[in-house]
Structure 1
Amino acid sequence: MSNLPRYYFRDKNGYYNYSLFNYPVIWWLITIAGYIGCNFLGKKFLLNLNYFENISGIVALTLTVFLFVKLIRGVKENHGLLKYLSSLMIANDVRRALLNGMNVNRVKDAPFIEVPNVKATYQDDNSILLIVGKLVGMHDLDELSEDINSSLRGNYSKFAVVSSSISVNGINFEFYLENVEQSYRFVVKSGNISPFLSKNKHEIKLAKNLIWNTIETPMLSIVGRTRSGKTVFSEYLLKVMEKQGWKINYYSAKGDIYVRKFHGQSEPSKIVESLEKWLKIMKKRNKKIADAGVKTYVDIDLPDIALVIDEIGLLNGQLAVDAKLKKRWENVITGLMGAGASSGIHVIALSQRGTKDFFLPPSALVNARDAVIMLGLSADSGDDRRSLMPGFEIPHRAYGQGQGLARFVTSGKRWEEPNFYEAPYFEDYNNKKD
């Protein structure tokens, strides 16, 4: 995208307009008209206008090639002619909104206004990448997001900014727009999760627009109160991991069917003891990786291992009466969270709250914040968000069962910031609520 801004000049009525002569298609029409006119007048009045006719023809041909290449490129980038034309209209609407904001707030009655260039590109039917050139004085991403959202009307009102950032080179703002009226949740029918399995066993599909890359982001934190949909989501996760060849160990101080099914423990001392064994296995796997001269477990085809630790709040309460056991817990979970990534050992931590007393110790939180799902009331809890999604201002919102926020730092720009998320829904799970 060209970073040259557009200049809108003020007319006698006080309105700011962008000259039509800045558009190549206008000059193409003029040269076509010039060529036809010279040809007609030359024949009609026997005038020698060959020079002007040739110049007009050459310029018209050059502009035709330029516009054709631009059209083909635009159609290819936007996956279709209609989407390309739609992207031009969106970009124009956004420019007009930015112009109005600049006119009212900063440069009212100036002879001209400098407006950043804007380019919209459809990523697919339900998402758009919007690039806005950065000008002096433009710093507030939230304010720009509001201007962009206000410009999306009519057929485009279904789109809204879901994330924003400054480009790597620092000269553009990048906004990701998504169809907020479209649901991206998976609907599991008859308990069959086969349609949602990934060909890459290291990738877990969590929604139509979200894939958990377990190599880049090996640990996952899940927080949700009672009846938030956490248990349903964890069942989906366990089924997918099992089908994709993962080894699973499930720990819960509450004790449930998954503890028995996935070789886990429910007694606090036995949970800690089992995790300490896994810490030793992790060190052996890392040594094996180092001896093979490779970087990660993927390079020598070691299987993924999921250590699912549920009801951490209850576990912390039981550990509080035994200082030595609590210290062992803090040491082992910190070790697994800190060095388990390269060995293929993934800690999946679940709790009803994300605060200090209910979740992992502070020493283990660093790697627990890279992939986070918060469901129900937890997603609207300032205390939970400050612990697991710090640094983000998120407006109040009521979340239904299976709804909340998700943040995955390696699942694309859209998920680098907390965004609305809907967990997979089991059609036949109505009577089994968390």
Structure 2
Amino acid sequence: MARTYKKNSRGLFVLPLYSRFDFYLVVAISLSLFISVFGFFAPSKVYRIGVIVSFSLVSILVFFRLFSLTNELFKAVTIRRYITQRNAERNITKSLLATMSVNLLQDTPFISVPKVTVCDSRPSHISVEIEKLAGMYEIDKMSDDINSSFRGKLSNYAVTSSMIMTNGITYKFILEDVSSDKTWRPATIDDIKAEKYKIKLQEGLTINLSERAMISCWGKTGSKKTTVLFGMILQLFSMGADVRFLDGKDEFSAFKDFYPADKIVSEVDDVLKQLDDVLRVVKERQGIMSEESRKRHKIGLKASDVGLRPVVLVADEIGSLVAQMDNKQSKQFLNGLVSIIQRGRSVGVSVFASTQDPSTDTLPQKIRQQFSTKILLGSANADIQRMAFGEVATAGDLEDFRGFYTCDGLTTQPMKFFVCDLYSYGLNELGVFKKAYEIGLDISY
């Protein structure tokens, strides 16, 4: 809860004594000592009652404090992390006071200061939650206050995303180490070899397709969507995945030199046939999974558990594909896509979708919600961010090869994304894709 500060004689806002726990503990201890020393002048019965009451009061306060401290330490896991979090909370509170990013109580010497909660999840990130009080609206200003509060060993951490939580009464900020570069930068063909069902998106972020099968990537022209797809495709080839391409802009036609041409389609009729074939695979695998569950007397099996080869439908520039279709074809396409997305994860069938924007004109809400990993590249306005993530990640422009992402079960709000670098070591060449495909041909499932 918010705490009320009062302006002292020097014009500084401080927490009044009556609002401090330590004040009451000192009073209780002093009272106990006083009764212990001078209580013998009182009748014995009154003395005993006074001693019992005073020491009970001290015990209750000490117990309450120890219980609260133990609970906080349990949440922090380690004493060092607890100290870091408490110091950060104090520094942020001081910064909010210094800039008056608080709730001013009109015509009084008092101000209401929001509760600040810091959670240290390093090396991934640090999260800060600030109670939203009446009159507190400048989220960008608070971001600056938070950034200025992190010094010393935390000085490299800065706010990368901020939002008002759905409860409407809490600001939440995500801070990441802005001095570190999380770009995945493979140097040799061995670096792009992937474990079965594992896709690396950036340093520290690997997606297990048997758990999070659906990935979407949005971004305007030039935001490096294709680079993100190429990074994933190299890994899919190397693990021997069965990749099907719905090629809205003929980005993958060059793969036909070594990859089965019937799995790379761009014409409307061929696209719909490819969807039907993937749906056929889904149905066949549902029967296989059902039989395996019966044989093993176990439910909840994954495709990776029974040795099914991953099948991945790469739908590039869905907007361009839909634009070529009439109403009937568009409805058939979207219905097929929904069916694959909803039923594919449990049988080892994934969908990687790419388009310029996540608007309902391109992808209906019922499809967008099904993607467990969502990537939005480049700078985007608040409306685009809401369509992609359901919330606003942050304001301001991003540098090239950057964006934001969310991943069900791994993130609580959008975090900064780093596009992979396939160019520094020439891994964007067609020959590298061919080599990765040849490696995958030797992978058995």
TM-score (normalised: structure 1): 0.70
Residues 328-354 of structure 1 show CA distances to partners (whole Å, capped at 9, x for unaligned) of: 874564334332212314343457xx2
Task: Describe the SS at the equivalent of 2:341.
Answer: coil
Structure 2: tracts of 5 or more residues without a match: 294-298, 431-445
Q: How does 1:105-144 map to 2 (within 5 A)?
A: 106-107=104-105, 110-139=108-137, 141-144=139-142
Alignment partner, residue 314 of structure 2: 308
2:242 aligns with 247
Q: RMSD value over aligned CA atoms?
A: 4.9
1:240–1:433: structure 2 CA closer, same or farther, 3 Å change rule? closer
Quick one: percent identity of the two aligned structures? Answer: 19
- Specify the code of the residue in structure 2 equivalent to 1:362: D
Q: Deviation string for 1:88-146 (max 9, x for gaps)?
A: 22222233333345479854762211222222222334522323233334455445444
Question: 1:206: which partner in 2?
Answer: 201
Q: Deviations over 1:348-378 (max 9, x none)?
A: 3457xx27xxx99934465358555455xxx
Partner Cα separation in structure 1 for residue 360 and residue 25 of structure 2:
67
Is 1:397 aligned to residue 398 of structure 2? yes
Query: Which of 2, 10, 13 matches 1:16?
Result: 13
Residue 346 (structure 1) aligned to one of 347, 350, 365:
350
Post-superposition offset of 1:398: 3.0
1:81 aligns with one of 76, 79, 82:
79
Q: In the alignment, does 2:427 pair up with 1:423? A: no
Q: Please say if 1:92 is aligned against 2:90.
A: yes
Where 2:112 maps in the other structure, the secondary structure is strand
> Greater shift after overlay, 389-398 or 331-340?
389-398
Q: Secondary structure at the match of 2:398?
A: coil
| Cα separation, 2, equivalents of 1:42 and 1:280 | 91
Identify unmatched segments of 5+ residues in structure 1: none
Q: Deviations over 1:266-314 (max 9, x none)?
A: 5644x741542332541673598599699xx97674764212245779x
Equivalent position SS for 1:93: helix
Q: In structure 2, do the counterparts of structure 1 residues 277 and 183 end up closer, same or farther at CA, with 3 Å as the change threshold?
A: closer
Offset at residue 216 of structure 1 (A): 6.0
d(CA) in 2 for partners of 1:89 and 1:34? Answer: 31
Distance 2:277 2:338 in 1: 14
Corresponding letter in the other structure for 2:72? G
Alignment of 1:158-173 (within 5 A): 158-167=156-165, 169-173=167-171
Residues 95, 289 of structure 1: alpha-carbon distance in 2 compared, 3 angstrom cutoff: same
Q: Which amino acid is 1:12 matched to?
A: S
* Equivalent residue number for residue 282 of structure 2: 285
Structure 1 residues 230-265: Cα deviation after superposition (integer angstroms, max 9, x where no partner): 565434312444566742124552555644555345
Residue 341 of structure 1 aligns to a residue whose secondary structure is helix
Q: Aligned runs of 1:321-336 on 2, under 5 Å?
A: 330=330, 333-336=333-336
Q: Which deviates more, 62-71 or 185-194?
A: 185-194
Secondary structure of 1:273 counterpart: helix
1:254–1:311 contact (8 Å) kept in structure 2: no
> How many residues are matched?
404
Matches of 1:104 and 1:89, distance apart in 2: 19
Q: Distance in 1 between matches of 2:385 and 2:76?
A: 38
What residue number does 1:362 align with? 361
Separation in structure 1 between the aligned mates of residue 104 and residue 200 of structure 2, nearest angstrom:
46
Contact 1:372–1:388 under 8 Å retained in 2: no
Q: CA deviation at 1:405?
A: 0.7
Shift in CA distance, 97/74, structure 1 to aligned 2, threshold 3 Å: same
Which whole-Å CA distance do the structure 1 matches of 2:131 and 2:26 have between them? 29
Q: CA deviation at 1:56?
A: 4.2
Q: 1:103 and 1:142, CA in 2 relative to 1: closer, same or farther beyond 3 A?
A: closer
